[in-house]
Amino acid sequence: MELDRRMLCGLFQDLAVTVLCDEPLARHTTWRIGGSADAMVIVETVEQAQSVLAAARRAAIPVFVLGRGSNLLVRDGGIRGLVIKLGEGLSEVSRDGDRVTALAGKGMVSTANIAIQNGLSGLEFATGIPGSVGGAVTMNAGAHGSEIKDALLAATVLTADGELLAVPAADMGFAYRHSVVREREWTVLSATFALHPGDRDEMRERVYAWRRRRQATQPLSLPNCGSVFRNPPGDYAARLVEAAGLKGVRIGNAAISELHANFIVNLGGARAVDVLQLMERAAAEVWERFGVRLIPEVRLVGEDEARG
What is the residue-wise DSSP string for the chain?
----HHHHHHTTGGGTSEEEEEEEGGGGSTT----EEEEEEEE-SHHHHHHHHHHHHHTT--EEEESS--SEEE-TT-EEEEEEEE-GGG--EEEETTEEEEETTSBHHHHHHHHHHTTEES-GGGGG--SBHHHHHHHT-EETTEEGGGTEEEEEEE-TTS-EEEEEGGGS--BTTB-STTTTT-EEEEEEEE-EE--HHHHHHHHHHHHHHHHHHS-TTS---S-SBPPPTTS-HHHHHHHTT-TT-EETTEEE-SS-TT-EEE-SS--HHHHHHHHHHHHHHHHHHH-----B-SEEES-SSPP-
297 included as an active-site residue: yes
Domains, the chain = 5-89 (3.30.43.10), 91-203 (3.30.465.10), 219-301 (3.90.78.10)
CB 287 within 8 A of CB 281: no
Does this model's pTM top 0.75? My answer is: yes
What percent of the chain is modeled with pLDDT above 90?
88
Question: Mean pLDDT, the chain, as a whole number?
Answer: 94
Query: What pLDDT score was predicted for residue 256?
Result: 98
Q: Does 306 have pLDDT greater than 60?
A: no
- Give me the catalytic one of 32, 75, 177, 206: 177
227 included as an active-site residue: yes
pLDDT tens string 25-41: 999 999 999 999 999 99
- Mean pLDDT within 128-147: 94
Query: What pLDDT score was predicted for residue 3?
Result: 64
**Banded pLDDT at 5 (limits 50, 70, 90):** confident
pLDDT tens string 197-232: 999 999 999 999 999 999 999 999 999 999 999 999
177 included as an active-site residue: yes
**Residue 214: how many CB atoms within 10 A of its CB?**
14
Q: Does 308 have pLDDT greater than 60?
A: no
- Give me the catalytic one of 23, 147, 285, 297: 297
CB 298 within 8 A of CB 225: yes
- Give me the catalytic one of 132, 179, 227, 257: 227
Contacts of 46 (CB under 8 A, 6+ apart): 90, 158, 164, 189
pLDDT tens string 87-125: 999 999 999 999 999 999 999 999 999 999 999 999 999
pLDDT tens string 269-288: 999 999 999 999 999 999 99
